[in-house]
Structure formats: C-alpha cells, structure tokens
Amino acid sequence: MARLSGTFSKNGILSKILLLIGFSCLFTVLGVIVLMLFGIGSSVDVRSLKLMQLVQSVAMFVLPPILIAYLGSDRPAVFLHLDRKVNLFHIGLVVVFMILIVPAINLLTSMNQQLVLPKIFAGIETQLKATELQLAKFTEQMLSVRTIGALAFNIFLIAIIPAFGEELFFRAAIQGIFRQKMSARIAIWSTAIIFSAIHMQFYGFFPRMFIGAFFGYLLFWSESLWFPIVAHFSNNVLAVLFYYLKYNGYKVPDIDTIGTGSTLWLGILSIVLAFFGLFWLKSKFQIKNEVAAQV
C-alpha cells in the first residue's frame, strides 16, 4: 500500500475532482449495502434515519478526501491542511465571530426565502418548496430529543461529523485541488457555490454560499483546516443546542428568527460587525503567519 502514496500527485484538476466524486459515490453505495445487510436501510424510524445519516456522511464526505490526500500527495496531512498547530486564542475568535453573525445569516436567509422565480419556472419553484419542506421535517425529526445522551449523539451527528467531513471534502479537497490552477479568490468562491448547491436548498443558497466562502477564506488566511472546521461546528452546534432547549420547554428565543422581524436591527448590526470582523480576523491571521515565518 505504501507504493500507492502520491500515485496521482501529478494528475490534473479534472482527474482529481473525478476521482474524488468517484470515491464518494463508491463509498456511499458501499455504505448503503452495509446498511441493507443489517436491515437498517428499509426502516424509517428516527434511530435508523440517524444511523443512515451517519454512515452516508462518513462515506460521502470523510473517506473520499482522505483517500485522495493519500493518493494525491506524499504528505496527506499537509494536503489536507491538518498538519499545523492552532492557537486557542484564534480558535476562540472564530467561535465568537460565528456567534455574532447568527442574526446576519438569518437576515440573509429571510431575504433569500422571499425570492420568486419567473412564472415560467413555477413548476420548479413548487418542487423546490416541497423539497425544502420535506428536508425541514426530516431535520425536526432528527433534532427532537429529550435526553442528554440523545443530545450528545445529535451534536456528534449534526455538528461534529458534518463540520469535519464537509470541510475535508470541500475546503481541503475541492478548494485545494482548484488552488493548483486557480487564484485563491476563484477557488474559494467556486467551492462555496458547489458547497451550497450540493445541499439542494435553493431558499438558503445565498447565505450558505457566503458561509462557505468565509470557511474558504479562513483556510486561506490560516493555512489550517482546523479553523473552518471549528467555524462550521460552531454554526451547527448552536442550532442543535437551541432546538433542544426550546423543544424541552426552556424559554429561549428561536435562533432562526434572531435578526429578522422585530429584531431586524440585530440583523443589520450583525452584518456590519461581520464586515469589520472579517478584516480584523484576516489581520490577526496575517500577523500570526508573519511571526511563524520568522521563527
């Protein structure tokens, strides 16, 4: 197996992207087969749905980029940007930033949901709304838990695995492959568009694209995948925790509406903070990298 390391290091962008997609499809099919062998794929109860989600997430997003890193580089950890130590202070800054931009994300989502397609696409729009409604119901099924143990598993399933897997797949693999021939800006935004499109949620497309671009810039500025992983995790775990608290009777605001309606001012303020925060974070990472280069 050692001889396979770096086998495809000289392959072009298209070849590596096709390999990544091919491995993703292959592992997903294998995952479905394993689920069926254990009689899980045919069931529709919440427990089975969660196991299916776990297996598919690992198969689709975690394993393919790891294999691509192994085949496409002699130093897989470097290829995946997992080799650098991280500064806990900077990790904290990223977490705080993700909390501060929640109202901004909600406001952008609200604006996105008001988009209306031309009448000629009325049929497509109806289908998109039906799909989003179905996804929302599926998400509610996943999040509706009572015990701390079930909450912990939801955090693992909905926050940890997607944060690690999707950042490996999109930022480390796709954006990394694009960067071999493209400028950083084009690679980041191209990856962000793909990242948002693959979630198949038109009425959340633009805010998710902007978040994806932010994750991409975090990787570019810090040269470490751990920062976008932490940012992605922070975004997801907030939703999981707030839903759990609200579902179990705690008096907490609906996190998805903060920054809209009567709290519109928070959304506007959050956008302003996000704008200046981005430049501040960029400067912090640049200083960090300059210091590291002098050591």
Burial of 218 (0-12, 13-18, 19+ CB in 10 A): buried
Q: pLDDT digits over 56-78, tens only?
A: 999 999 999 999 998 888 889 99
- Same-domain pairing of 102 and 8: no
Task: State the pLDDT at residue 285.
Answer: 87
Length of the chain (residues): 295
Of 270, 252, 278, the closest CA to residue 99 belongs to 270
Q: Is residue 293 part of a domain?
A: no
10 Å CB burial of residue 266 (0-12, 13-18, 19+) is middle
Q: How confident is the model at residue 288 (pLDDT cuts 50, 70, 90)?
A: low
Residues 91 and 194 in one domain: yes
Domain extent, residue 21, equals: 1-79
Tokens for 238, please give them: 């907030």
Task: Using the 3D structure, point to which of 79, 96, 124 is the last residue of a domain.
Answer: 79
Sign (positive/negative) of CA torsion 207, 209, 213, 216?
Answer: positive
Residue where the block lists tokens 């590291």: 292
**Which residue, chain included where needed, has tokens 């990544």?**
20
Q: Are residues 196 and 250 in the same domain?
A: yes
**Has residue 37 got a pLDDT over 50?**
yes
Please indicate, yes or no, if residue 294 is contained in any of the structural domains: no
Structure tokens at 28: 């997903």
**262 part of a folded domain:** yes
Choose the final residue of a domain: 31, 47, 79: 79
Given 30, 45, 79, the domain boundary residue is 79
Q: Report d(CA 255, CA 273) in Å as an integer.
A: 18
Give me the percent of the chain exceeding a pLDDT of 90.
66
Same domain for 35 and 154?
Answer: no
In this structure, are 89 and 73 located in the same domain?
no
Q: Which residue has the tokens 């751990």?
A: 226
- For residues 96 and 241, state if they share a domain: yes
Instruction: Dump pLDDT digits (tens) for 152-209.
Output: 999 999 999 999 999 999 999 999 999 988 999 999 999 999 999 998 888 889 999 9
Predicted confidence at residue 135, as pLDDT, reads 83
> What is the total count of domains within the chain?
2
Do 204 and 74 fall into the same domain?
no
Q: What is the dihedral of CA 127, 128, 133, 137, to 10 degrees?
A: 100
Which pTM was predicted?
0.91
With a cut of 60, say whether residue 83 has pLDDT above it: yes
The answer to which of 94-108, 133-147, 237-251 has the lowest mean pLDDT is 133-147
Shortest CA distance to 31 belongs to which of 46, 10, 47, 52?
52
